Amino acid sequence: MRTGIANLPLHPGKCPSWLFSLMKELGAAIIQVIVEEYGPGEVLKRFSDPVWFQAFGSVLGFDWHSSGLTTTVCAALKEGLAPRQGELGLFLAGGKGRTSRHTPHEIDHACERFGLPSTLEDLKYASRMAAKVDSAAVQDGYQLYHHFFVFLKDGSWSVVQQGLNDQTGWARRYHWLSSGLTDFVCEPHTAVCGSRSAKVLNMVAYENDQARNAVAFLSREKPESTLKEIRKITESQSFKTLDLPYRHNIPSSSHINRVLLNTYQNQPADFEKLLSTTNAGPATIRALALVAEVACGVSLSFRDPVRYTFAHGGKDGIPYPVDRSNYQKSISALEDALRRAKTGDTVKLKALRRLAEMEKNLSANPNTLRQL
C-alpha cells in the first residue's frame, strides 16, 4: 500500500495530560522497536496504512475511531521521539493548525542539524504538494488542518494529514508514502478506504488527464482571455445545469486575475507545476476546470478517490475471509514489540494482557471472529 484514507467522527474533549505522557513513552518505544527490527523505512510504510495507524492509536489507549486520534498520536510521537531522531534516522515535522505551517522550517532545521544530504528542496516540495493535492486537486469537502511529515536520511518520506468537513461533522485522514510514487497529480492515492462522497472534483483521477492538460494550458494564456471565458460561463443560463461538486461562486475577478497573471508570467509546463504555484488554490483550480470543460470540450471526472482496503479481511467473509495466520502474525508482532519496549511495567503489562486475551480466545475458538 502506498497511501490510504480514513473517515473519522469528530469528538469533543482533550487528551488527559497523564495519558498523553504515557502515549509519548509507549509510542516512542514501539517506533524504536520497529526501527530496530525492520529499519526506519518500515515506519514510513506503516504510517501510510490507515488501518495500522488506527490500530496503533488504539494500542496507545486513545479513542479507537475518533478524529482526535490522528492529532494526538502524531503530537505524542513528535515529542517522544525528539531526542532520538538523529539516532534513529527518523525525522518528524509539522502537526495541527499553525504548527503545520512550520513544516518547511523544521525540515530545514533537521537537515542542517544532522547534516542530511541534498534532498532538502525535494522534501519541502513533497510536503507542499501532498497538502496541495488533498486540498486543491481533490475537492471532497474536507478542509485540511493537520499536516504531519516524516522523512529519512535517504530522502524517502510519509505524510499523515487530516481535513474537516463542517457540514457533516466528520474528518478525513490522508496518508502518503514516497515509495512507488511516480506522479503527484495522476492517481497518487491507492489502497484507499472510507465512505465515498457523491460530489468530488477529482483533478488527479487518471481519466482527467486531458482536463489537467487543458487547465495547465489555460493558466499559460493571457489572463484577459481566460477571464472572458469565465464571464461567459457565469452569465450563461446553461451554467445552472452543469453538475459541479460545489455551488461556490466563481472567485472574484481581482483574485483570479492576480493568480492568472502570476501563472501567465511563470508559464507552468503542466498541471503539477500549476498546482505548486503560490495562491493556486481550490477556487482557482475549480474555475479553470470549469473553463476547460466548457471552452476546451474536455470531460471532468468527479470520481471520489476513495476505495476500500482491509487489513485482515472481514468476519462475514466480505471482502474475503479472515486469514487467521496473518491475523496471528499481527498480534505476535505487536506482542514482541511491546515485550521489548523499554517502558514501565504497568503500561506494558496492561497492553500485553489485552493482546494475550485476544490471542487466547482466537486459539481456543477459531470461530471467535464470527461471534463478535
For the segment 151-189, what is each residue's pLDDT rounded down to a tens digit? Answer: 999 999 999 999 999 888 888 999 999 998 999 999 887
pLDDT surpasses 90 at 233: no
| Residue 264 host element (H or E) | helix 253-266
**Tens of pLDDT along 42-81?**
999 999 988 888 888 877 776 666 778 899 999 999 999 9
Beta bridge partners of 139: 201
Q: Grade residue 245 by pLDDT with cuts at 50, 70 and 90.
A: very low
Check residue 363 and give its pLDDT: 56
Lowest mean pLDDT among 92-96, 137-141, 333-337: 333-337
Nearest to 87 by CA among 117, 47, 114: 114
For residue 240, give the DSSP letter. Answer: G
Q: Is the pLDDT score of 90 beyond 90?
A: yes
pTM score > 0.75 for this model?
A: no
Q: Determine the pLDDT at residue 248.
A: 43
- When pLDDT is cut at 50, 70 and 90, the band that residue 214 belongs to is very high
Determine the 3-state secondary structure of 49 from DSSP. Answer: coil
The residues near 161 (Cβ < 8 Å, ≥ 6 apart) are 100, 130, 131, 134, 144, 146, 147, 148, 173, 174, 176
Does 217 score more than 80 pLDDT? yes
More confident position, 337 or 71: 71
Task: State the cell numbers at 269.
Answer: 509546463
Please tell me the predicted confidence (pLDDT) of residue 340: 64
Cα separation of 311 and 330, whole Å? 10
pLDDT of residue 228: 86
CA–CA gap between residue 281 and residue 165 (Å, rounded): 17
Residue 196 grid cell:
465515498
pLDDT at 69: 86
pLDDT score, position 241: 44
